[in-house]
Amino acid sequence: MSGAFYEFYCPVKMIAGFGALDHLPFELSSRDCRRPLVVTDRGVRAAGLLDIVLKSLAEAGIANPPVFDGVPPDSSTAVVAAAAKVYRENGCDSIIAIGGGSVIDTSKGMNILVSEGGDDLHRYAGAGALKRPLRPLAVIPTTAGTGSEVTLVAVVADPAKGVKLAFASPYLLPAWAVIDPRMTLSLPPLLTAATAMDALTHSIEAFICLGKNPVSDAYASAAIRKIAANLVKVVDNPSDAEGRFELAQAATMAGIAFSNSMCGLVHAIGHQLGAVCHLHHGTCMSLMLPYVLEYNLATSRGPIGELLLYLEGADAYAQTPPERRAEAAIESVRRLRERLFEKCKLPRTLKETGKIAEGQLETLARLALDDGSLSYNPVEADEKDVLAILKRAWA
């Protein structure tokens, strides 16, 4: 009976395709929004992506909207407050976030402040603190990985207090996720690979962890197919717009999957690698994924074996004996990592990153035990288990 109960929720309207951006003014007007604040970072501006959006808005009569482009790679409560100030000073009524995870989390955080009033984000930290809808938020991802455009969480650091504030509420879900392949065309191969491995891990963990359900499985498996079929192709040819679009859709679908069924031990360890060693989140996911899959074979041989169908296709799946499919799926992930190393030097081992000392592994293992993602992993793991996994991933 335990598998017979689940919840699934995703009210975000997806607008996807070449030129999807051009629909945004219509969508804004459908909610009577006339003055959006555009939130982004200087990298997005320098890459010319902001101009694409502003041009599209201007063509539809939203000329010169206010722009806040001061979002750093790791956002903070001060940045959120600064963005909220710009919103209020300009009499805005909606938000357009253009960027990756930090820009999107900043936009979600500032949406709390401009909707609820005040400048104290702490009041709204935790789960379920928000009790009413916020201002309409449109998200235009410029990476294909985080899936934040369809998740109900945000994380904002408070450096003064040395804490990271986590927010979880259905009201944090954006109104629109705009997936336009023009926005990811300029992503360099290494970042393309790392962010896609993030999306692959979201979908694989959604598919094998305890919160899996039939609806999230559908999104996860479709995302895995798209990533497996397109990632190497796009790394080889970064201007492959069709392939970029497939990866961008996959990232959003993976976001929908894991937002409903959550992630597992890869994320529990990866979050610590990011926090302690300042590694890119997608790189952390790629580093740990095969080792955690091996660890999870103890209880999850069935779903891991099924991954082979999505990673390698029907022929390979049919030609592999059922008792070998799980190992073959893990081998497929390893081969993908090898190819990404050859093509863009995405690290395969913790040692190859050059940012971790072997002596830090024990600290990382201890910290991983307090990460919420561990709850959803199908196999229990204690400090000794996590340390053993990290040692296997070392070199």
Partner 1 sequence: MNLADTLNRRLRELAADFSADTGKIRTYVDLMMTVMGRGLVAISRFDGRVRREMQGFPVGFRFEMIALPDGPSTRLRVNIGGEFEPDDSAARPDLSIQFKHLRHAFTVLSFREGTVRAFANNRMVVDGDIAYAMRMVRILNRLQSVILPDGVARLAVKRFEPVEGKGGLALKIYGDVLAMSLKGAQP
- Measured from the Cβ of residue 317, the count of other Cβ atoms closer than 10 Å reads 19
Contact (CB, 8 A) for 70 and 64:
no
Q: Which is nearer to partner 1, 206 or 361 (CB)?
A: 206
- Nearest approach in angstroms of CB 171 to partner 1 is 15
- Nearest approach in angstroms of CB 105 to partner 1 is 16
Q: Which is nearer to partner 1, 237 or 375 (CB)?
A: 375
- Nearest approach in angstroms of CB 58 to partner 1 is 43
Q: Which is nearer to partner 1, 60 or 388 (CB)?
A: 388
In angstroms, the CA 131 to CA 171 distance is 8
- Nearest approach in angstroms of CB 311 to partner 1 is 24
- Measured from the Cβ of residue 105, the count of other Cβ atoms closer than 10 Å reads 28
In angstroms, the CA 249 to CA 255 distance is 10
- Nearest approach in angstroms of CB 211 to partner 1 is 4
Q: What's phi and psi for 129, nearest 5 deg?
A: -75, -25
In angstroms, the CA 185 to CA 188 distance is 8
- Nearest approach in angstroms of CB 330 to partner 1 is 22
Which residues make up the interface to partner 1 (CB under 8 A)?
A: 1-3, 5-7, 126-128, 166, 209-211, 262, 369-372, 374-376, 379-380
Q: Which is nearer to partner 1, 302 or 372 (CB)?
A: 372
Identity at 202, one-letter amino acid code: H
- Measured from the Cβ of residue 298, the count of other Cβ atoms closer than 10 Å reads 10
Q: Which is nearer to partner 1, 7 or 315 (CB)?
A: 7
In angstroms, the Cα distances linking 225 to 184, 220, 275, 311, 324 are 19, 9, 30, 6, 20
Q: Which is nearer to partner 1, 14 or 379 (CB)?
A: 379
Tokens coding 173: 């879900």
Q: Which is nearer to partner 1, 46 or 127 (CB)?
A: 127
Task: Quote the distance between the C-alpha of residue 310 and its chain's center.
Answer: 20
Q: Are strands 94-99 and 163-168 parallel, antiparallel or unpaired?
A: unpaired
- Nearest approach in angstroms of CB 5 to partner 1 is 5
- Nearest approach in angstroms of CB 253 to partner 1 is 20
- Nearest approach in angstroms of CB 126 to partner 1 is 6
Q: Which is nearer to partner 1, 240 or 362 (CB)?
A: 362
Q: Which is nearer to partner 1, 241 or 379 (CB)?
A: 379
